Structure 1
Amino acid sequence: MGSESTKNNSTENGDLILLPLGIMLALKLIPKPVIEASRAKAEEIRRNGKPKNWVTGAIFILIWVLLAIWAGEVMLRMLWYDRG
């Protein structure tokens, strides 16, 4: 068990170093005009307020509720099946 714990910690430490380096490399590869245009667009959105799409939000909430209901039914069926 001790070796598994050490292995997981070394992997996490590697991720702490590699992930930021990968992000920095990705940002360096993006052309400056693209970054400047994106920053300008983000600033405009910040000034004007974020757009709200309530229909899309409602659809996502509905999907999550339906998934929760389905998962609950599956769990109940599994419990009933184990009893009978």
Structure 2
Amino acid sequence: MSSKSPSILLFLLLLTVAVAVTTARTPSLCSSFPVSRGSRGSCSIRCIRWDPVCGVNNVTYGCGCPEARCYGVRVVKLGPCET
């Protein structure tokens, strides 16, 4: 084993921890909307206008933040997901 291996492993470990902490601190763009207390997808949504948001799962929710929150998905982008 070369002397560089422990240094590389330590660097990769620190990089992984830094990414995890940054991701955990990134707030949802829809954090001001209440969370549904029912089962995922069971809340009723009155979608009166197209207001798409993109979830962390790369799914576009056409009714916006309320629909994404209903499904328990964190929103990462306002507007539709890129295909």
Instruction: State if a TM-score over 0.5 links the two structures.
Output: no
TM-score between the two structures when normalised by the length of structure 2: 0.37
Q: Which has the larger radius of gyration?
A: 1
TM-score between the two structures when normalised by the length of structure 1: 0.37
Structure whose residues are more often helix by fraction: 1
